């Protein structure tokens, strides 16, 4: 077994563990954060069903961003929608036999990679060209966008500039899943791409990129607008009243 294979096997086990544990810890932290006030962003739904529909619109269509800034919404939605297709395309490396719907999305996932680069480039350019956004942007904001863009570009480079042994890559990852390590193809472009992906997995739970789970715990989005009909009482406040 080559040192390259062993190194990347250990790296991805570590990155996966950090990603999984980090996500659990952060989501648990979100769940424990108290919401002492009834503060849904109005106009807000007055029923639980309405809140569920609002969350669906927010998650799928980025409704509040659409109302706030059309350019940012277009670039953000383009990136996220493309990312979903790209990730779906990559499932072929982790399934055998490959699921039918994964086979179906393969060409769409390829085109989505270009859209993903376009969306990321636009979002990054926004942080330079829009004065108020440039003012509040931090180095970490630029680094996250640079990392995502580098992952996308390095992935495309393996398709069009530096072809790799995708059968060997699939064997490597399938082997990792069952602890039966297989040789990792020695390709510079592949090594760069995998290093960037592993870096993203490790920092993801601790970065601003972890905004998706937080949305479900946002009181301005997940609360019913019924303060007169039903008194909102946080658990810690209820315990105080019982004394």
Token digits of residue 157 = 């480079």
Token digits of residue 62 = 């980025």
Count the neighbouring beta carbons within 10 Å of the beta carbon of residue 156.
17
Read off the pLDDT band of 243 (50, 70, 90): low
% of residues, the chain, pLDDT over 70: 96
Q: Is residue 94 pLDDT above 80, yes or no?
A: yes
pLDDT per position as a tens digit, 165-198: 999 999 999 999 999 999 999 999 999 999 999 9
Q: At what angle do helices 100-129 and 70-90 cross, to 10 degrees?
A: 150
**Strand (E) positions, 85-242?**
none
Q: Which residue has the tokens 């998650």?
A: 59
Global pTM reads 0.89
Are the beta carbons of 176 and 5 closer than 8 angstroms? no
Q: Is residue 33 pLDDT above 90, yes or no?
A: no
pLDDT per position as a tens digit, 124-136: 999 999 999 999 9
The domain limits of the chain are 37-67, 69-209
pLDDT mean over 209-220? 86
Cis? peptide before 43, omega within 30° of 0:
yes
| pLDDT value, residue 241 | 67
Task: Tell me which residue of 50, 63, 44 sits closest to 220, measured CA to CA.
Answer: 44
Are the beta carbons of 125 and 132 closer than 8 angstroms? no
**Which CATH superfamily groups domain 69-209?**
Transmembrane di-heme cytochromes, Chain C (1.20.950.20)
Tell me how far the alpha carbon of residue 115 is from its chain's centroid.
Answer: 16
DSSP assignment of 2-62 equals -HHHHHHHHHHHHHHHHHHHHHHHHHHHHHHS---S--PPSS--SSHHHHHHHHHHHHHH-
Are the beta carbons of 105 and 88 closer than 8 angstroms? yes
Are the beta carbons of 117 and 158 closer than 8 angstroms? no
Token digits of residue 94 = 């982790």
Are the beta carbons of 126 and 75 closer than 8 angstroms? yes
Token digits of residue 158 = 């393996």
Whole-number average pLDDT of the chain: 91
């Amino acid at each position: 077994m080559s040192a390259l294979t062993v190194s990347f096997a250990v790296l991805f086990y570590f990155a996966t563990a950090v990603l999984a544990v980090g996500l659990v810890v952060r989501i648990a932290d979100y769940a424990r954060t108290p919401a002492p006030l009834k503060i849904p962003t109005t106009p807000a739904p007055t029923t639980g069903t309405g809140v569920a529909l609002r969350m669906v619109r927010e998650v799928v269509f980025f409704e509040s961003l659409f109302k706030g800034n059309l350019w940012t919404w277009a670039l953000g939605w383009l990136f996220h929608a493309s990312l979903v297709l790209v990730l779906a395309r990559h499932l072929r490396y982790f399934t055998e036999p490959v699921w039918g719907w994964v086979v179906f999305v393969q060409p769409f996932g390829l085109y989505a990679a270009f859209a993903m680069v376009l969306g990321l480039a636009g979002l990054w350019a926004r942080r330079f060209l829009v004065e108020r956004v440039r003012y509040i942007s931090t180095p970490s904001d630029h680094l996250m966008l640079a990392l995502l863009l580098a992952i996308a570009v390095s992935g495309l480079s393996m398709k069009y500039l530096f072809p790799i042994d995708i059968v060997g890559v699939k064997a490597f990852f399938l082997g990792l899943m069952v602890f039966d390590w297989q040789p990792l193809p020695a390709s510079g472009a592949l090594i760069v791409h995998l290093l960037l992906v592993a870096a993203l997995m490790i920092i993801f739970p601790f970065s601003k990129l972890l905004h998706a789970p937080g949305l479900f715990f946002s009181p301005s989005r997940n609360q019913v607008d019924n303060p007169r009909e039903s008194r909102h009482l946080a658990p810690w406040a209820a315990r105080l009243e019982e004394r």
